[in-house]
Structure 1
Amino acid sequence: MNSDNAEQIIQIAPWDSVCNRQAINSLCALRRGDRCLFYHSSAGATSRHIVGVVEVAREWYEGEGEAASGGAVDVRVVGEFRLLVALGEIR
């Protein structure tokens, strides 16, 4: 490793706050190691963009802490896209 490059920290975070039943079913079906497109879902359809790829680190579990009202899947970042992809472009 080059001394100029800091070791990358693998960050794991819950993918929670999903309310749509179809989306919840999809998250429940994910298995550890599955890769997914991750999108930013700000207000308004024009701001919804795929921003990168994540990998499932922990399969669906009932919510803990902030996610207590539902469930979550823990994911880790695999990579970020240099160019954002609008959800409408891939439909």
Structure 2
Amino acid sequence: MTTSAPKALPSIPAPPTKHQLALMIWLAVFPTLTVLNLALGGWLGTLTPVVRTFVLATIAVPIVIYGLMPQLHRLRRRLLTRTAGN
């Protein structure tokens, strides 16, 4: 009776280090805030700094957390599994 060798499961990369996560967050937050400031700059300029910060945070946080960070985690995973495969 012959048995085939079990297929190797794809290696799942470890969670990002603090430094990797900091870089990923920066890569998501900086462009998001830049685009929001460019798009809403005229309107934001009329607000007080605290209200302006509140508005930017209220818009930027969901974009970063639900839109950009999952994409960056996927990209990181793809890069690490591609590197491990070589």
Report the TM range for the smaller structure's normalisation: under 0.3
Larger RCO of the pair (alpha carbons < 8 Å, separation 6+): 2
Higher strand share: 1
TM-score of the superposed pair, with normalisation by structure 2: 0.27
Q: Which has the higher helix share?
A: 2
Return the index of the structure with the highest Cα Rg: 2
TM-score calculated relative to the size of structure 1? 0.26
